[in-house]
Amino acid sequence: MLAGYDTLITAIALGAILAYSFHIVLMAGQLSLAQAGFAALGAYVSTLVVPVEPLFGSLSPVLVGLPVGATVGAAAAFLLGLPVLRLRGVFLAIATIAFGEMVRVFLNNVEWTNGPLGLRVEKWVTVDFAWIVVAVLAYLVWRLGPSRTGRAFAAVREDELAAGSMGVDVVRTRMTSFVASGAIAGVYGVMFAYFFGRITPASFDFSLMLDGLVTAVVGGYLVFFGPVIGSGFLTAVPEIQKALGLEAGWIHPLVTGLLLLAVIVFLPGGLSTLLARVHRRPRPVGADEEDAFAGLPPLPAPGMTIARLRGVEKRYGAVRAVQGVDLEIRSGEILGVIGPNGAGKTTLVNMISGLVPPTGGEGDVLGVGLGRPGLAHRFAGAGVSRTFQHSKLFHRLNALDNVLVGAHPIARPTYLRRLFWLPSARRDERRTLALAWAQLRRVGLADRAHLRPGALSYGDQRRLEIARALAGRPTLLILDEPAAGMNHVEAAELAALIRSLAEDGITVLLIEHNVRMVLETCTRLAVMNFGELIATGEPRAVAADPKVVEAYLGAPEPGESEHV
């Protein structure tokens, strides 16, 4: 029945393979466009090793080429990634485009590639062979989705800063997606060479890159079969056009462009979201929190020093945001940090959670030294977890998935085991799920687990952030103005929640403007003004300290106080 459509069906498969190499970086939010270069390198190198006769009489010789292409592509991606992955957004896009063009010019000008004339090889790739490769790729991506690694990809895509604070090694995750993309692009190059039987440097140009990107986006990069849908759809357009008798060459690019525009404007997740139940309600997993946390090392006993800062300073140019702060945090306490706006509270906790390195002084938090940038995930791994002043939830993940990312520091990697359906992977995933559900219940959001953050009220968003921060079972939980925007009933509930966390042995560092709540909740207060710590101690005593009163209300004019 499909006879005569072989070429078309194989072309769909090839388009899907190319789109997968974009899909995998888009999943991690990286706009990397070097795939044409990786594919070219994979294709050209594979022609040096692929035998001219079938293996053992019957196997496709391309089987030799695929691992070689994948290795070449991955190696090229790794080497390119070392310098360029410091770049983000459009800068990364442009640098990777430049790489692709450099590869093309290079291949045009060296001897062994036969320059612009290109190389001829046998057409070994058949329909079945191409679709087997697509099936393998789709399987690999499908199993990636709900694994620890897949969640790390999604977290980095949505918000790198928050991902790092949840324990995700952002640099490594970006590199992983980059290298995987290189490997898939290398495979595509080999498939391309042995399907068309000819490669030239111009085969792997800017327009190939655009085709791959467009296919990946039209199909959608949030669902694992997106590339197949995208490729099938875009390859079908010219066929339908032919069937309708529209032969003019300009109709195809016109229709493709209009469709792409329509998809990106009206269907941001791509066509595959029409077919996949992206917003399906997750089923609660019931194990209680005790079980989920079983097997983890116990929290430190109350009263131990878990963080120590000495003379810590942070300067931005001439501005001293924080200076000369000496502070110890002891386990089990609820330490409130208060101070007027701009006093340096958030900068201080950014240093304690590893987001910004101090410019002076020293300190360590749970055994991790302050100092080097880009290591927020190490702090999270050691047991520091936080919420943000302006909530940094992962907007395209539902509430449950947000909390699942938070469990990253204590979840076990499951991807490789998931590929082989090992029961232990399933057990580990269920345990992580149970943990996330327990936190959602704790903050009262279990019935809203399927909603995205945008659909939650402001107070619910703040609670969700707390649940996410709790899922990694932190030793030290940092809450940056959690009650901002809450009404007094919600704030009272929040205060009760914080006290119950302390009863569980979690140390809490609370930045808050709601002084009444701070006085009722905290066991110790630290007051900041102009970047300096001006008082620490027992809440009532600190609140009565004249220096503190002055910082909040201003110094009385001389002689004024008698009249008041």
Partner 1 sequence: MVQQLANGVFAGSIYALFAIGFTLVFGILRHLNLAHAAIFTAGAFAGIELAVRADLPAWAMFPAVAAIGAAAGLVLERTAFRPLAGRDDEHFAGLISSIAFGGVLIAVLQARYGTEPRSFPLEYFPNRLYEVAGVRVTLTQILTLALALVLMLGLAWLVSSSPMGRAMRAVAENPTAARVLGVNVGLVTAGTYALSSGLGAVAGALLALNLGQADRGLGASIELIGFAVIVLGGLGSLWGAMAAGLVLGLAEALTVHWFDSAWKGMVAFAVLFAVLVLRPRGLFGGAAVREV
Residues that bind partner 1 (CB under 8 A): 31, 83-84, 86-91, 93-95, 97-99, 101-102, 104-106, 108-109, 206-207, 210, 213-214, 217, 248-254, 256-258, 260-261, 264-265, 268, 395-396
**Angle, vertex CA 466, rays to CA 331 and CA 308, nearest 5:** 30
- 9 or 97: CB nearest partner 1: 97
Query: From CA 520, how far away is CA 503, in angstroms rounded?
Result: 15
- 209 or 228: CB nearest partner 1: 209
- 94 or 497: CB nearest partner 1: 94
Beta strand segments in 465-506, E? 476-480
Q: How far is the CB of 537 from partner 1 (least distance, A)?
A: 40
Q: How far is the CB of 520 from partner 1 (least distance, A)?
A: 35
Q: From the centroid of its chain, how far is CA 285?
A: 24
Tokens encoding 508: 């809490």
**Number of other residues whose CB lies within 10 A of the CB of residue 310:** 13
- Which one, of 330, 341, 286, lies nearest residue 306 by Cα? 330
Q: How far is the CB of 399 from partner 1 (least distance, A)?
A: 16
Q: How far is the CB of 222 from partner 1 (least distance, A)?
A: 11
Q: How far is the CB of 486 from partner 1 (least distance, A)?
A: 24
Query: From CA 221, how far away is CA 26, in angstroms rounded?
Result: 6
- 44 or 195: CB nearest partner 1: 44
- 209 or 292: CB nearest partner 1: 209
Length of the chain: 564
Beta strand segments in 481-523, E? 507-511
Q: How far is the CB of 226 from partner 1 (least distance, A)?
A: 14
Q: How far is the CB of 95 from partner 1 (least distance, A)?
A: 4
Q: How far is the CB of 29 from partner 1 (least distance, A)?
A: 8
Q: Please answer whether residues 141 and 148 qualify as being in contact, where contact means their C-beta atoms are separated by less than 8 angstroms.
A: no
- 44 or 99: CB nearest partner 1: 99
- Which one, of 427, 455, 464, 163, lies nearest residue 295 by Cα? 427
Query: From CA 17, how far away is CA 11, in angstroms rounded?
Result: 10
Residues 6+ apart with CB under 8 A from 493: none
- 173 or 475: CB nearest partner 1: 173
- 393 or 438: CB nearest partner 1: 393
Q: How far is the CB of 407 from partner 1 (least distance, A)?
A: 23
Distance in Å from the first CA to the final CA of the chain = 96
Helix (H, G, I), strand (E, B) or coil at 25: helix
Tokens encoding 204: 């792997």
Q: How far is the CB of 268 from partner 1 (least distance, A)?
A: 6
Query: From CA 68, how far away is CA 47, in angstroms rounded?
Result: 10
Tokens encoding 402: 């947000």
- 151 or 431: CB nearest partner 1: 151
- 211 or 460: CB nearest partner 1: 211
- 93 or 451: CB nearest partner 1: 93
Q: How far is the CB of 213 from partner 1 (least distance, A)?
A: 7
- 258 or 319: CB nearest partner 1: 258
- Written as one string, the DSSP assignment of 161-214 is HHHHHTT--HHHHHHHHHHHHHHHHHHHHHHHHHHHSEE-GGGGSHHHHHHHHH
Q: Please answer whether residues 231 and 16 qualify as being in contact, where contact means their C-beta atoms are separated by less than 8 angstroms.
A: yes
Q: Please answer whether residues 125 and 61 qualify as being in contact, where contact means their C-beta atoms are separated by less than 8 angstroms.
A: no
- Which one, of 8, 396, 23, 493, lies nearest residue 223 by Cα? 23
Q: How far is the CB of 180 from partner 1 (least distance, A)?
A: 19
Q: How far is the CB of 269 from partner 1 (least distance, A)?
A: 10
| Residue 59 DSSP one-character state | B
- 91 or 458: CB nearest partner 1: 91
Rg (CA), the chain: 28
Query: From CA 59, how far away is CA 55, in angstroms rounded?
Result: 5
Distances in whole angstroms, Cα of residue 28 to Cα of each of 155, 156, 269, 310, 408? 8, 6, 14, 38, 16
